[in-house]
A = this chain, B = another copy of it.
Amino acid sequence: MMARLYPDGMHGAIAAGLTELLGDRVQVRSVTQDQPEHGLTEEVLNDTDVLTWWGHATHGSVDDAVVDRVYARVLGGMGLLPLHSAHFSKIFIKLMGTSCSLAWRNSGDTELVWTVAPGHPITEGVPQPIVIEEQEMYGEYFDIPQPDEQIFLSTFTGGEVFRSGCTWRRGKGRIFYFSPGDQEYPVYHHPAIKRVLANAVLWAAPSPSIDFVAPAVLSQPAPRFDGRLAAQEVTA
């Protein structure tokens, strides 16, 4: 099924959508898990502004050293877009601090993706709702920290609900999780889904002047003020 729907792989379809909509505004490269260091070498990461992450079934075999490298880059300012089953990727769990577990069922439900943050850049040009005729169902309870911004909520034919589009900041980096997208359904060929991903790449991109240095302890040598507690104020 996946081979028929995605002859160029999931990464190929995602990359094609970004290129189609963003053209010269982005340079898109793909790496895959079977490459050395999963293709995410220091050199590659150092040249990446926004990383999309799609994975399935083999999250456990992702190298912890690579996860740590991506993590440091996100805290330093790189945007990250974990997609669909990347809710269970090591990098997403590490950034969230929760189990990221959810309810699911694969029975060809229709998914409706509703915008609850109109005016947010990620929602630009997106219909209300996006109709995905067939999709795997992801449902609540989705064990994530409360999102900084709730962008999309999805419903399914079966009556379930899912926080399908969420943003968080971690360090200097911006994260957008977006759940639609499964290897058994042509979701990444859907015009509105391509639009969301393109919008999200622009939103998650760091400023051109970012240094990508993760926050670290600062031993602050000198006070800014030479103040003292005003004597009359000692009230505790």
Query: What is the 8 Å Cβ interface bit string for chain A, positions 123-164, against chain B (1 contact, 0 not)?
Result: 011011111110001011111011011100111111111010
A71 to chain B, nearest CB (A): 9
With both beta carbons as reference points, the residue of chain B lying nearest to A99 in the complex is identified as B215
Chain B residues lying within 8 Å of A163, measured Cβ to Cβ, are: 116, 153
Q: Is the CB of B170 within 8 A of A160?
A: no
A185 to chain B, nearest CB (A): 13
Question: Does A58 sit within 8 A of B, measured CB to CB?
Answer: no
User: How many identical subunits does the complex contain?
Assistant: 4
Q: Is the CB of B223 within 8 A of A104?
A: no
Q: A118-B172, A145-B145 are in contact. Are A159 and B223 (CB under 8 A)?
A: yes
Chain B residues lying within 8 Å of A95, measured Cβ to Cβ, are: 97-98
Question: Does A221 sit within 8 A of B, measured CB to CB?
Answer: yes
With both beta carbons as reference points, the residue of chain B lying nearest to A116 in the complex is identified as B140
Question: Does A59 sit within 8 A of B, measured CB to CB?
Answer: no
Complex Cα gap A224–B130 (Å) = 11
Question: Does A171 sit within 8 A of B, measured CB to CB?
Answer: yes
Complex Cα gap A97–B43 (Å) = 24
Which of A31-39, A48-56, A105-113 faces chain B? A105-113
Which of A8-16, A21-29, A206-214 faces chain B? A206-214
Which residue numbers of A lie inside 8 Å of B, CB to CB? 75, 77, 94-99, 101-105, 107, 109-110, 112, 114-121, 124-125, 127-133, 137, 139-143, 145-146, 148-150, 153-161, 163, 168-174, 190-192, 206-207, 209-210, 214-230, 232-236
